[in-house]
Amino acid sequence: MEFSPKNITRDGEEYDLLICFNIPGAHSFGRARCSLFVDRLYNFSNTGKPDPTLDITYLQQLQKQCPKNGPGDNCVNFDPTTPDTLDKNFYNNLRVKKGLLQSDQELFSTPNADTTSIVNNFAINQSAFFESFKKAMIKMGNIGVLTGQKGEIRKQCNFVNKKSSELDLATLTSIESFDGDMVSSI
């Protein structure tokens, strides 16, 4: 995959940045385990301090939900205002330093970033967000999926499996789990 300032290309097809930076809007609903972001709360970039882009009141709330040296299993809403609704509030939260994941908050907090204007637009115009999100999901659905020997079903989505042969694909394709507020099917 090749990245350039104006577009992202994959196999010669362009994906505009507006659509690519819209995908995090899916974090308008759902939850993340503390283990995915706890470093932002206590040791951001190995400084021994919290991420300075976090609102202090939000930081304190997160620290209560995700104690230092805790097991990291607690789940926290991506969106503290409307956690079970796909809406523009995800973008409003970024504007007030309440992005749960660092990668989300950087869409607004990175100085002079092109994404700041997109966040501002989606925060005030839910219809624009919905229209762009719809286009983004269609484009993502059209990205070629690797199958057979070229692809793999990951045990954990954020890590490549050590050996694809270790997977029992017949079992994985039918597993469903329920864990508190999170339901997943593989």
Instruction: Give the DSSP per-residue string, 42-96.
Output: H-GGGSSS--TTS-HHHHHHHHHHS-TT--S--EEES-SSSTBS-STHHHHHHHT
Between 13 and 21, the more confident residue is: 21
Q: For residue 27, what pLDDT band results from cuts at 50, 70 and 90?
A: confident
What phi, psi does 76 have (nearest 5°)?
-125, 140
Class of domain 2-141: mainly alpha
pLDDT tens digit string along 99-146? 999 988 988 888 888 788 888 999 999 998 888 888 888 877 777 777
Percentage, residues of the chain above pLDDT 90: 38
* pTM summary value: 0.69
Please state the domain extents for the chain.
Answer: 2-141, 148-185
